[in-house]
Structure 1
Amino acid sequence: MGIFTALLVLSALIFFHELGHYTAARLMGVYVEVFSIGFGKRVATIKKWGTEWSIALIPLGGYVRMKGQDDLDPAKKSYDSDSYNSKTPLQKIFILFAGPLANFLLAFVLYFTIGLSGPQELSPVIGKVVQDSPAMKAGLEANDEIVTINGVKIKSWNEMAELIAGSDSALSLEVKRGQYLHQILLTPEMNETQNMYGETVQRKMIGISAAGVTHPKELSFFGTFEYAYDQTVFASTMIFTGVKKLILGEVPADQLGGVISIVKLTSDASEIGWISLFFFTALISVNLGVLNLLPIPALDGGHIMFNLYEMIFHKEVSEKVMVNLTIAGWVILFGLMGLGLFNDINRLAG
């Protein structure tokens, strides 16, 4: 059941991405020949609004084929009034960007739905105190709850960690222990830790770990919009940064995951509950949007790059250059997919 849910989620994300392209193309007066979810042999097809709507055998992708545009044959063009090629570079960029934009909007909607349900966040309750740390020397104990830091009310563990990391002097903590409040003064120390990308970094800490206690995040209706926006921006920034670090070699290539990892993690999230599934689906949706904006010729970002060139130099990229770059783009894509699959198999093999 989990694998079926994972494939359904992937298909839905691809559908919304391609729907973004389709909607923008129709708004710009472009004739859409095929709207396909999946690749390979078609298992179901209907024709509606002049477009063939298809479901193909391999549900790991999809495409919208517009008149005059064919990634398998970049030289195939048409300049009829309802053709993609007859549109201005700005109109084409709008059509191309609409796919990733649909993924960002879907992620926002998913985060908004989670926000309405009262998402859980980690409470500032101490689980363990590190030996000889500033926290131990100051007298902090397991199950203590940090109430305020320098008079600022603490609502979550992350909020507390950010205040400690950004401190430049001693901190005054108000701590709840049982039924009593204690005032504790301590100074954070710089220590090595790992960030979300697995890199070793220096960070100010006091030597405590979380107890794992959670509480519902209190959000007003309008606060839910802010929550959804912040989560979408955070996920986008995290993925952009991760891709940059991967390209620069700051994150090892064996961290790259493929479709097997995505299916497995989506399946695991679906078994935990709908909120976990929505969180992971939103993250994958943002991932799909970000990756499609990379300047690789076989992706939306590559085509946007060609159109920006046309806007700046007032001429199209030569047919030879476009064909060669598109082929190179497909080689890069298949290489990344192969590496992700290789890493997935290695993980499964232990």
Structure 2
Amino acid sequence: MGHSLLAFIVVIGVLVFVHELGHFLAARACGVGVEVFSLGFGPKILKLKRATTQYCISAIPLGGYVKMTGEEPGAAQLLNESDRHLSYTHKSVGQRALIVAAGPVFNFFLALVIFYLLYQTCGLYMGLPQVGEVVQNSAAMAAGIKEGDIIKEIDDTPIHSFEDISRIVSNSEGKPLAILVEREGQVHSFTISPQPREGKNLFGETVNRFVLGIIGTGETFHNPLNPLEAASRAVSDTYGIVKLTLLSVVKMFTGAVSTDNMGGPIMIAKVAGDQARAGFEHFIWFIAIISVNLGIINLFPIPVLDGGHLLFLSIEAVKGSPVSTRVRETMVKFGVVVLTTLMIFAFYNDIVKLFNGGLQ
């Protein structure tokens, strides 16, 4: 438990620091004064004053904040004329939107950097394109594919890994594929039509996938990546996580996926501890995934979140004046209720799984 708690604090600390650093640097770049840069909420445990900014670590490590000059309602009117240029409220809509968006953007950037460094330093471990087993009554067995065959080409596309085979076959839509295999030093040609087979996707839904009916040997090889390849994979992975996260949220709202899958701090702590025990690479990979999730969640148009602030700024840009204080306060209260409800539900799910053995 102590190991998971420490891992959780490290994960949250890194993510919050990067998120708030985005707001902080954007505010400074736009000429806005920053009064407080805090990791955590509540009572301040450690404080350090540099120039006009107080940097601190607070008692509750479940977030953080950047307090800007003239940010709070009515605070800008209390400023001296000489300090008015430092006020967040007096900046243009575009500048304020940049400051708000910088937090989530930095979370996405952190994921990109982590993925890039991992791919650049560690490369990829991929499955050998060799048949370890042929499934009974499959298209591959009917065509004459045998254990030990090495797949060299599919439809004139060179095959370098078992992942290449899976990708091409999955996208085949069942059309016949011309396949070249190497067997005992000789090359043999086959034409195989992949067959649909029921399976479960990441959301537990039943789907049809096209398969040949072969299983790999389980052996892997190391594939180093050059800087361009590493960057391309980093962008692809980040985009994939964004797409998967948004799809998960949509499916939860439509009821296609159970809300029981929603997890909170206990689940994050448990998984963080597991990944930390699995090794440094697994742990920072997990940080990258959670960082993308945090960036997406913060962009939801819910008052209190960055997305809610961007919504208010969008309305201001269209109507030419800020949203009234009364409307803003009402919406913020609504946002607090929504977030509190979601947090309670996530905690409830975690506790139920904990007592039912789902978070062992």
Do they superpose with TM above 0.5? yes
Choose which of 103, 106, 113 in structure 2 pairs with 1:102.
106
Task: Single out whichever of 297-306 and 26-35 deviates more from structure 2.
Answer: 26-35
Task: Single out whichever of 241-250 and 140-149 deviates more from structure 2.
Answer: 140-149
The residue type paired with residue 192 of structure 2 is L
Task: Single out whichever of 204-213 and 252-261 deviates more from structure 2.
Answer: 204-213
The residue type paired with residue 9 of structure 1 is V
SS of the residue aligned with 2:238?
helix
- Max Rg structure: 2
Q: How far apart are residue 175 of structure 1 and its match?
A: 2.9
The corresponding residue for 2:242 is 236
Distance 1:136 1:345 in 2: 48
- For residues 69-111 of structure 1, the C-alpha deviation after alignment (integer angstroms, 9 at most, x for no partner) is 34xxxx4442533121111111111001100111111111101
Q: How far apart are residue 181 of structure 1 and its match?
A: 4.2
TM-score by length of 2: 0.89
Choose which of 63, 66, 76 in structure 1 pairs with 2:65.
63
Matches within 5 A, 1:71-220: 75-79=73-77, 80-117=84-121, 118-168=123-173, 169-177=175-183, 180-220=186-226
Distance 1:243 1:129 in 2: 38
The corresponding residue for 1:21 is 23
Q: How far apart are residue 254 of structure 1 and its match?
A: 0.6
Q: How far apart are residue 299 of structure 1 and its match?
A: 0.5
- For residues 14-54 of structure 1, the C-alpha deviation after alignment (integer angstroms, 9 at most, x for no partner) is 10100000010111111112111112222111111311111
The answer as to whether partners of 2:120 and 2:224 remain within 8 angstroms in 1 is: no
The corresponding residue for 1:304 is 310
Q: How far apart are residue 187 of structure 1 and its match?
A: 0.7
Distance 1:144 1:335 in 2: 55
- For residues 181-221 of structure 1, the C-alpha deviation after alignment (integer angstroms, 9 at most, x for no partner) is 44332111222222222222222222334443322233122
Distance 1:211 1:25 in 2: 54
The residue type paired with residue 33 of structure 1 is E
The answer as to whether partners of 1:2 and 1:267 remain within 8 angstroms in 2 is: yes
The answer as to whether partners of 1:2 and 1:271 remain within 8 angstroms in 2 is: no
The answer as to whether partners of 1:261 and 1:344 remain within 8 angstroms in 2 is: yes
Distance 1:125 1:254 in 2: 39
Choose which of 211, 221, 225 in structure 1 pairs with 2:227.
221
Q: How far apart are residue 10 of structure 1 and its match?
A: 1.7
The residue type paired with residue 233 of structure 1 is Y
Choose which of 243, 248, 252 in structure 2 pairs with 1:246.
252
In structure 1, runs of 5+ residues without a counterpart are none
Q: How far apart are residue 178 of structure 1 and its match?
A: 5.7
Change (3 A) 1:41 1:148: same
State the identity as a percent.
37
The corresponding residue for 1:276 is 282
Task: Single out whichever of 157-166 and 281-290 deviates more from structure 2.
Answer: 157-166
Choose which of 53, 56, 60 in structure 2 pairs with 1:54.
56
- For residues 294-342 of structure 1, the C-alpha deviation after alignment (integer angstroms, 9 at most, x for no partner) is 1111100110010011111112112221111111111111222222222
SS of the residue aligned with 1:323?
helix
Task: Single out whichever of 153-162 and 98-107 deviates more from structure 2.
Answer: 153-162
